[in-house]
Amino acid sequence: MSPSFPNLLVVGCVLSLLLLWKKSRELSLPPGPRNWPWHYSPPVKSTQKSWIRYAEWKKVYGPVASYTRRKSFIIVINTAKAAVDLLEKRSRIYSDRPASVMVGELMEFDRSFFRLSISNPRFQIYRKLFHQELGPQAVKAHISTLERETRTYLRNLLREPANFRKHIKRFSSSIVIKIAFGYSVVSENDHFVGLVNAWFDHANSQLATAGQWMVDSYPFLKHLPRWLPGAAFLRFADEERKKHRELLSAPLNWVKTQIAEGKEIPSFASRRLSRPQRSPEDDDITKYVAASIYFGGGDTNAAALITFILLMVLHPEIQQRAREELDRVVGTDRLPNIDDAENLPYVNALIKEVLRFHPVAPLAVPHRVTEDDEYDGMRIPKGSTIVVNIWSILHDESVYPNHMKFDPERHLSNLTKSQAGPQPDPRNYVFGFGRRVCPGIHLAEVALFLAISSTLAVFEISKATDKDGNLITPRVAFAEGIVSFANAFDCAITPRSLAVMDLLNLGED
């Protein structure tokens, strides 16, 4: 006997109700602006920086927000708790990088350490080599290089104070080129420094926004003819690929020539290339790790140092207090060294506050989740791009009261009774999370301490004057980019005394 229509109708209704019940039980995606006209989205000013816009989302959507850009689903994390919960405690599935036809395939970045997938067998090899070269104990072998480059930077600043940005970039690049390849920068227009600066200046702002390239959502676009209108992205990728290949090969070829001529200089690359038994695979690994040291470590420190100069122009009272501590602890007959660091709490607090006030990579480098996950009642789909708003974390009013005030005292233990400090160390966040923590963190910390403490010990940093003698107050503004630099500004940098000038002439390299 066949089922009657009423019975079929009842079964159908029950199944429909079950499906609706199951759907209602499914977790929702993190809230955020959508492409639907009826979905509320906070107003966005055209001049608003992305890290500030994302931070404002926190007021509307909470600590975790999401949005879709073409076919990319992007999750924005705006608090330290959410970042630690996901990227630290669940680092196994939150440490990959987003797949990108543009950056990975067309620009050929996917084998570099900072883009490499954690599933690639090379990832652990790269991490081990970085630790051997730049780990907390290994960095001690590079102290003499750091001190020598610090003196060169100070002398350049003395000769041409108006070109402080150029001197800072040279200082940061010289350190990593020396460590990676044994190459000494002796010219203001050095070829290798020019290579990395040209690549960075071209790529930094263009690679900063998650999901920005249409070819990542529609891969067939990579086959378009270069001459076709709308194919400018392919010509851009061609230029970046060419620059990247030269960055990978030129310094390494220099090392190989030095070895062949018996003039090798100790470095990461020379030690690896001088091993008697090595394979082409070994040499390829050496190429990518050396290059990652080379162009991964220079601009981040440079951005922090330029921010430091800007903040010292605006806060002479803080500059003076740090200088008084240096004079009391170090004296005026020598430059600070790394052994002085533990006795300079205010200088260390100042460095932390520079990193907090404007983190060098406000949105870090995006992560990718490799499995479906759940967090705080929200569904996080496999393959989502994860953007951590480090700027928002370090400007959380509940953690850093009066967050837009530059105040090193927030990092000291002897705060006033009205403050519950010291506040969280920004270094726990600015160098990344989980398995993607910056491998050069220890080198960066030493380099920043030596450069900042020595600059304070030797120079007065103040406002520049215009042609009528009026003081110029620089504007606090920063450019978009993976690494975010302060916009151009003028300042006056003068030696504290003739004795300081004599100090810089000692040990001329």
Residues contributing to the annotated binding site for heme? 438
Segments in 218-275 forming alpha helices (H) = 232-260, 268-273
Furthest-apart CA atoms within the chain: distance in Å: 110
Q: How many CB atoms lie within 10 A of CB 383?
A: 15
Q: Which residues contact 136 (CB under 8 A, 6 or more apart)?
A: 442
Separation of alpha carbons 98 and 370, rounded Å: 10
**CA 362 to mean position of chain CA atoms:** 7
**Inter-residue contact 293 to 179 (CB < 8 Å):** yes
For residue 422, the one-letter residue type is P
Separation of alpha carbons 416 and 402, rounded Å: 15
Q: What is the DSSP letter of 360?
A: S
Separation of alpha carbons 159 and 154, rounded Å: 9
Separation of alpha carbons 314 and 472, rounded Å: 10
Positive or negative, the CA dihedral 191, 441, 265, 275 is negative
Radius of gyration, alpha carbons of the chain: 26
- Which residues fall in the annotated binding site? 438
For residue 65, the one-letter residue type is A
Location of structure tokens 């350190």: 175
Separation of alpha carbons 193 and 294, rounded Å: 10
